[in-house]
Amino acid sequence: MGRRANRNQGRENTEAWKVVHKVTNPIIGITTDMDSEYLRLKHRYCEAITEAGSIPILIPPVGNALRYGDRIDGLLISGGNDLDPFYYSEEVSPGVKLVPRKRSDFEFALLEEVLRLRKPVLGICYGMQLISVYFGGTLYQDLVLQRSVEISHENGYHLIMTSENRFFEESTCSVNSSHHQAIKHLGKGLSACAHSPDRLIEAFYKEDYPFLVGTQWHPERMHESDLSTHIFQLFVGASNDGKQGP
């Protein structure tokens, strides 16, 4: 009963937020994963975007990525397996399960176009890592093999510490964790704003951009978390502002 009450309270707070900020259903493009036959995307991405007052549109990695830039108000690069280390000039390490280059090439091109248009961008897990690599960053291909870690990052939950900035308050909270790779060197122009207890980067933002945020955890799976709800509200709010124009 308590969990249901918390969920209902969160939805009520979100509805009030949409009224106050005059959110008018901006369109958020969400990139999809793929296998040999099917496009893949977990439904919580769409639910989180919808709950924040936006309309989700799935973007498959086919055709010309540039044509989507003008048609969306914000871009969400979703999670997936592992980014090919080709993009940061390394060979593939053992245990790496690559995302198809067709998807990553498409997302790099789409990201570049959306950045040119200065529209909001949110990257989650693999999406966060791709954004950092776009700006010249590198990754730990496997934390167990390449870095000493004090906690498990491949499953469960752990604490993160956020630093105060224009998006987050200084705080400590628990987040989910389902990754074996992580940011090694952060991309140029990005600022880390959350860390795990063993000092891995858990979130970043770009100071000189309207809204560009990356999270290593999956906020779409944490609808009862104030921080995760806040991230989607900020993202949709920024997309709404861009839609309305100056």
Q: What is the DSSP string of 2-66?
A: HHHHHHHHHHHHHHHHHHHTT----EEEEE-EE-SS-EE--THHHHHHHHTT-EEEEE-S-S-GG
Collapsing DSSP states into helix, strand and coil, what is residue 145? helix
- Ordered by where they begin, the domains of the chain are 2-241 (3.40.50.880)
Q: In this predicted model, what pLDDT tens digit does every residue of 97-155 receive, in sequence order?
A: 999 999 999 999 999 999 999 999 999 999 999 999 999 999 999 987 767 677 767 67
Query: What is the rounded distance in angstroms from the CA atom of residue 160 to the CA atom of residue 175?
Result: 7
Question: Residues in the chain with pLDDT < 70?
Answer: 1-23, 146, 148, 152, 154, 243-246
Note the pLDDT of residue 223.
81
Note the pLDDT of residue 193.
97
- The pTM assigned to this predicted structure is 0.89
Residue 144 vs residues 112, 180, 182, 197: alpha-carbon distances, Å: 32, 8, 11, 16
